[in-house]
Homo-oligomer: A and B are copies of this chain.
Amino acid sequence: MASEVQKRTFGSAATHIQRNPAYSELNSDDVSYFKSILGDNGVVQDEDRIAVANVDWMGKYRGASQLLLLPKNTTEVSKILSYCNTRRLAVVPQGGNTGLVGGSVPVYDEVIVSLAGMDKIISFDNVNGILTSEAGCVLENLSTFVENEGFIMPLDLGAKGSCQIGGNISTNAGGLRFIRYGSLHGNVLGLEVVLADGTILDMLTTLRKDNTGYDLKHLFIGSEGSLGVVTKISVLTPAKLPATNVAFLSCNDYTSCQKLLLAARRNLGEILSAFEFMDHHCIDLAMRHLEGVQNPLPASQYKFYVLIETTGSDESYDKTKLEAFLLRSMEDGLVSDGVIAQDISQASNFWRIREGISEASVKVGAVYKYDLSIPVEKLYDIVEEMRCRLGDNAEVLGYGHLGDGNLHLNILSSKYDDSTLAQIEPFVYEWTSSQRGSISAEHGLGLMKAEKIHYSKSPEAVQLMASIKKLLDPNSILNPYKVLPQSVL
């Protein structure tokens, strides 16, 4: 079943992956052992519950696991992995299962280890804004918690209501605050990780600075659960600033969007907190499929739309600054039309459009999603080239985090089919590679792109990654078939 579904979606690549016969198959002794350490409640064999954990939220990737484990603490995770390593049982660590590349569901019969039961906040230092929690905490819950203390999480993304912080870190999630607060490599202070053999690696410092030896935690940020299972985290949370303003603007061409970005960096400077861009196909889609959402600029049809957010400490000053910026940008001809949200509900509406594009996309039928880093000046070229290639066969959407050079390319079609896929791939990867771009800016490689890593990484780098994988997980039990090509392992 697994390979059939993968074939449907991802064509020839996924069908080449065979179940690795080195892995053992689960037996009743294994289940008894897991019950002995986790209790009956921690060992799920119920078909319906397992079915949910076997498939990703888009319904694209479906595994055939027969066992879902729910550890309650690090020691239990350690015992699970130690046992699986000895028994050569393959394991998929699972957070909120909100990923887009098939990284968090089994491919075959891997044991699913869910972190959902480890959702406690351990401590919060409200002088320095340092949060320590278990890995299974849902991002939105952490957000609410730290906001009540006067701080914010350094990351925010559309999936916040389901995604877990451990998964965010394991996939190096980017999201909407990246332009202001940067990468998790800069914001994560410490991790506790359980290695494949059950070793608990305590790197759970809460210090902002620590140059004692190699900073190992970075190996686990973005390695998609293939080097270890993140069990606890500490993260730096910036102070919450009281004044947020959101503007929704339109531009007539892509060059104006770029110039507007540069102008925003210069003139909004320290208060700029988001610069999101969408082409008009995205707006049309959002208006068709998102309930209760209004077009903030309904008067005319524009080619491009930009959402700018500022966050600062002075409401009226920041707003005046944003208004002045908007006025000047209109005078300079960069912006055709624009509006600043007058209240929270209007601001939410603006954000709902941007954040809802992904949700709206999946309502059409089939959606081929690509997440690319491309130098900003070339970023929209691939969207136009793709439109030419596909003609009437598909609708091509371009949107994303322009301030980070991150394009989300969504290709909508009535159904998945191999001929459409063949027009998209490998072209999209080859094109991105030719620009020295990244074929995965923030989504990761997962199952979808494990075999495509060479488009963005040198052979020497991939070889070293494989060596590190073998060092940390010699039996390759952690999240198999993902991240790295099978040929190098």
* Interface range on chain A (Cβ under 8 Å from partner): 35 or more
Q: Which residues of B contact A269 (CB under 8 A)?
A: 239, 241, 312-313
Residue pair A270, B241 in contact (C-beta under 8 Å): yes
CA separation between A218 and B227, bound complex, in Å?
Answer: 15
Q: Which residues of B contact A127 (CB under 8 A)?
A: 258, 261-262, 376-377
Query: Is A16 an interface residue when CB atoms closer than 8 A count as contact?
Result: no
Q: Which residues of B contact A376 (CB under 8 A)?
A: 127-128
CA separation between A239 and B267, bound complex, in Å?
Answer: 10
Q: Which residues of B contact A265 (CB under 8 A)?
A: 129, 239
Query: Is A46 an interface residue when CB atoms closer than 8 A count as contact?
Result: no
Residue pair B440, A218 in contact (C-beta under 8 Å): no
Query: Is A211 an interface residue when CB atoms closer than 8 A count as contact?
Result: yes
Query: Is A483 an interface residue when CB atoms closer than 8 A count as contact?
Result: yes
* Also in contact, A211 and B205, with CB within 8 A (given A376-B127, A468-B468): no
* Also in contact, A185 and B222, with CB within 8 A (given A201-B460, A270-B312): no
Q: Which residues of B contact A455 (CB under 8 A)?
A: 212
Query: Is A102 an interface residue when CB atoms closer than 8 A count as contact?
Result: no
CA separation between A126 and B456, bound complex, in Å?
Answer: 23
Interface string of A450-489 (1 = CB under 8 A from B): 0001011110111011011001100000000001100000
Q: Which residues of B contact A267 (CB under 8 A)?
A: 313
Query: Is A336 an interface residue when CB atoms closer than 8 A count as contact?
Result: no
A-side residues, CB < 8 A to B, are 125, 127-129, 150, 171-172, 174, 178, 182-183, 185-187, 199-203, 205-216, 218-219, 221-223, 227, 239, 241, 258, 261-262, 265-271, 311-314, 317, 321, 373, 375-377, 401, 404-406, 436-445, 449, 453, 455-458, 460-462, 464-465, 467-468, 471-472, 483-484
A-B contact pairs, 15 of them (CB 8 A): A125-B375, A129-B265, A174-B211, A178-B208, A182-B187, A207-B375, A208-B406, A209-B441, A210-B441, A212-B439, A213-B456, A214-B223, A214-B227, A241-B269, A317-B317
